[in-house]
Structure 1
Amino acid sequence: MKQFVSVLFLSVLFFQSNAQVNGPSNITFDSSMIKNEEYTLTWYMLQDTLKHEMGKVTTRILKDEDEILFITNVKMQRATSPWIDSTIVKTKDFAPIYHASQNQNRDMAMHYNKGVKGFYLDKKTKQKIELDESPTGSYFDSSSYPYLIRWLPLEEGYHKTIQIFDFNPNAKTGLLKVDIKEVSEVELSLKKGNTRAWKVYVTDEISNNQVNNYYYIDQHTRELIKHEIEVSGRKMVMEKSDF
C-alpha cells in the first residue's frame, strides 16, 4: 500500500505523441494568475458509492518576483509522520531551482544549476545514493508540473507534451514525458453554487502512463477544485471541502 500511495503521489501527481516536447524555454502560461495561497484537499478512496478518507493534502504557495515556492504537506491517516515536499521554480518560466521531499521512509533533495545534483537517503537501510546528472534540453521538475497545469492557456482541444526530470532510485531517473491528453469543459456543483471548470486529462511516464489523472480547474480563478486518480481499477479523489 505504501508503494502504491508513493506512485500515486509522485504522479500526484500524459498519451505519447509526436508533438513538440515543451519545457521552460517554450511553454506558455499566465504567471499573473499565480497568487499566494493555502488550500487543503481531502484524499478519498472510492469503492462503489462509498468514500473512505485516506488523508489530507495541504498546499501552500508563496510567490515573489523571481521565485515561486510550493510546500505540500500530506498527512495519511495510518502514517506515523507527514510527507512534506518543497519545490522552488523560477517565476518567469517555471524552470526548476530546488526540490526536497521527506517522509517516514526516505529523504531526498535536488539542486538544479547547470545540471542536477542531490541525494536520496533510505531511512531503513541507511543507504545514501548521490545524484549528479547533466540532462540536456529544457525540462521541469517532476513535482512542479501538476501546479503548472492550472495556469496553462487551457481550452477545449488543448494538448501538450512536456518534459520533466524525475529522481527515483527504485524506478526511473532522468528525463520523462508528461502528456496533457484532453481538455474539456464541465459544470461542477459546489456548496457555493455551480461553476464552470476545465477537466484536464493527464498521464506521465513516472507511472509508465498507467495512472489516469483528471484535474478539475475553475475557469475563472484557476483554483484546483478536485483531482481524480484511476489506476489498476482503483479510483481515488482529492477534493476541497466545499465540493
Structure 2
Amino acid sequence: MIIHPFKYSRVPGIFFTLILLITAGLCNAQVALTPGKIPFETKYLKTGKYEMGCYIVDGGRETEISSFIIDINANKETMSIVTTLNLVGAGDPRIDTIISDGKTFTPLYRSSFNDKYELMLNYGKEVTGYHYDKQSRKKRVIKEPVNEAFFDGYCYPYLLGLLPLASGYSASMPVYDYRPENTVNLKKAIIEEVTSGMYTSSLTGAHKVWLVTVFEQATNDKYVYYIDKETRRLWKVDIFSNAGQHILMVDRETDFNPFKSTFDKVATMKLIKSGSAVISGQVYAKDNENEGMLSGIAVININKKQYARAGTSIVLIPYTDFFKEWIKLNEASRKKGRAVPLPKEAAECIKTTTVYDDKGHFEFVNLMPGDYLIFAEIGYVHTSRRTEVVGYTDTYVNGLYQGTSENTTVRSYVGNTSATVKKVVKIEKEGETVEVKLKKTL
C-alpha cells in the first residue's frame, strides 16, 4: 500500500512503478488480480537506479519536500527494490527493501529502517517479523496467518505498468501493509479507471500516457499514475489525500543521456589542473550609441571601454568533443523551449575565476595544451541617441500653403543592460601564456 509523503511510515511504495513494460491487451470489466494469476511480462523488467522528486502543491505553487532514490534489481528468481528517502531538512535517510518472487511477485521479504522505527517481515505460510518503535521503545512481534494470496503494499504500484492497460480497464488487487494501529492489514487497491493522456517532460518532450486512477481502501487516498504507453515508464503521480492535500511526484530522469560522445572525467580534469600554461585576459564592452541600421557597428569607435567589474565571474570550459556536443544540443533544444542539463561529473570539470581589478583583467592557470571556451556575462551602461519629432511647421507663400516640415531634436537615453561575451582560445604548448581580449561592441 502506498501513501503520500506526509504519512512518513509508507512513502517509498509509490516509486516502484518506474520503467514498466508490457504487451497490449484489453479488459473492460473489473477483475480481481492475485499473484500467479496475472500474465506479467517479466522480461520487460529493467535493473537500474532512478530518482523521483516529491512536491506539495498549494495554490498552484510546488514546494519540494523529499527525493527518492530507487534501486531495482530484477532477475528470473526475484525482484528486489531498495529505496532511499531523503526528506528536505531531515537528518538520516530512510531505507526500505522489498523482495518478491521474480515470476508471480508473491512477497518474500520487506524491511524498513529509519529514525522512528524498524520493521522486518518474512512472508510464507505466515507473515512473521517484528515492529520496533524507537520513541516508545516498544517492540511488537508479528505472527499472522496467510489465508489468501496478496501483494505487498510497497510492491503493487510497480506492477501497475505490467498490466494489460487500455481505456476502460479496471481491476482490484489485494495488498498487505502492516501498521501497528491496524485491525486488518489486508485490504484492496482498486484501479477505478484508465484513460489516455499526455505528459510533457522538460528534457524529452511530449509522451502519450495512460492515466491510471487508483483508490486505496486502507487510506481513502486517490492516486493518478502517468504511465508511458510505449515504455510503461512512470513519469508522474498526483496524490489526492482524504485530508485535502495534493502531492505531486515527478521522475527526475537522472538516466537521461542524449550524448553520443563519451565523457572522460580523468582526462578532462587533467586539462584544467595538470598543465603549466596560462590564459591571461581582459573583458570589456564598448557602447557605440547607434540605433537602427547602425546598431552594433562602432562607426567612429570613440566611446570609452566599459570594463567588467572586479568580481565578475569568468567561465572556462575544456572545448572537447563532449562539451561541443553539449553546446550544440542546447542550441537545438532552446528552440523548443527546453535545455539539456550537464552531467554532474562533467560540470565538475568547468573552471571559473573572477575579474581581479578595475580594468577587467582575469587569468586561468595550470592548463594543458588544448582548446578552451571562455565566456562571461558583463553589465554595462548603454547610451541610446534617437532623433525625435517634437513638432511641425507649415509654410505659406502669399497666403498659399507650400508644405509642412518636421521639427526634430536628438535625445539621449541611458540604461543598464548586460551582454554575453565568449571566445575559443587555443593553447599550443606547455608553459606558454596566451593573451586574450573578451570584448563586445554594442
Query: TM-score, normalised to structure 1's length?
Result: 0.90
Matching of residue 205 in structure 1 with residue 220 in structure 2 = no
* Rounded Cα–Cα distance in structure 2 between residues aligned with 1:55 and 1:11: 14
Q: How does 1:71-220 map to 2 (within 5 A)?
A: 71-191=82-202, 192-207=204-219, 210-220=220-230
Give 1 or 2 for the bigger CA radius of gyration: 2
Relative to structure 2, which stretch is displaced further, 83-92 or 186-195? 186-195
* Rounded Cα–Cα distance in structure 1 between residues aligned with 2:179 and 2:128: 13
Per the alignment, residue 43 of structure 1 pairs with: 54
Tell me the amino acid that sits aligned with residue 89 of structure 1: S
Cα distance change on mapping 1:83 and 1:173 into 2, 3 Å: farther
Deviations along 1:165-207, one digit per CA (max 9) or x if unpaired, are 1211123443211101111111111121211111110111221
Tell me the amino acid that sits aligned with residue 193 of structure 1: G
Tell me the amino acid that sits aligned with residue 163 of structure 2: L
- Out of 5, 8, 18, the position equivalent to 2:7 is 5
Aligned residues of 1:33 and 1:222 also touching (Cα < 8 A): no
Deviations along 1:3-25, one digit per CA (max 9) or x if unpaired, are 94326627747xxxx95532103
Cα distance change on mapping 1:223 and 1:172 into 2, 3 Å: farther
Aligned residues of 2:12 and 2:85 also touching (Cα < 8 A): no
* Rounded Cα–Cα distance in structure 2 between residues aligned with 1:177 and 1:112: 18
* Rounded Cα–Cα distance in structure 2 between residues aligned with 1:64 and 1:218: 23
Per the alignment, residue 222 of structure 1 pairs with: 232
* Rounded Cα–Cα distance in structure 1 between residues aligned with 2:91 and 2:218: 26
* Rounded Cα–Cα distance in structure 2 between residues aligned with 1:73 and 1:35: 18
Tell me the amino acid that sits aligned with residue 27 of structure 1: I
Tell me the amino acid that sits aligned with residue 198 of structure 1: W
Aligned residues of 2:40 and 2:103 also touching (Cα < 8 A): no
Tell me the amino acid that sits aligned with residue 226 of structure 2: Y
Deviations along 1:91-115, one digit per CA (max 9) or x if unpaired, are 1111100000112100001001211
Secondary structure at the residue paired with 1:178?
strand
Cα distance change on mapping 1:11 and 1:206 into 2, 3 Å: farther
* Rounded Cα–Cα distance in structure 1 between residues aligned with 2:165 and 2:6: 30
* Rounded Cα–Cα distance in structure 1 between residues aligned with 2:34 and 2:112: 22
Cα distance change on mapping 1:19 and 1:134 into 2, 3 Å: farther
Secondary structure at the residue paired with 2:7?
helix
Aligned residues of 2:30 and 2:170 also touching (Cα < 8 A): no
Cα distance change on mapping 1:172 and 1:33 into 2, 3 Å: farther
* Rounded Cα–Cα distance in structure 2 between residues aligned with 1:3 and 1:104: 16
Shift of 1:153: 1.2
Matching of residue 66 in structure 1 with residue 63 in structure 2 = no
How well do the aligned residues superpose, as a CA RMSD in angstroms? 2.1
Per the alignment, residue 23 of structure 1 pairs with: 34
* Rounded Cα–Cα distance in structure 2 between residues aligned with 1:51 and 1:172: 36
Cα distance change on mapping 1:11 and 1:225 into 2, 3 Å: same
Secondary structure at the residue paired with 1:206?
coil
Identity of aligned residues (%): 26
Query: TM-score, normalised to structure 2's length?
Result: 0.51
Q: Which has the higher contact order (CA 8 A, sep 6+)?
A: 1
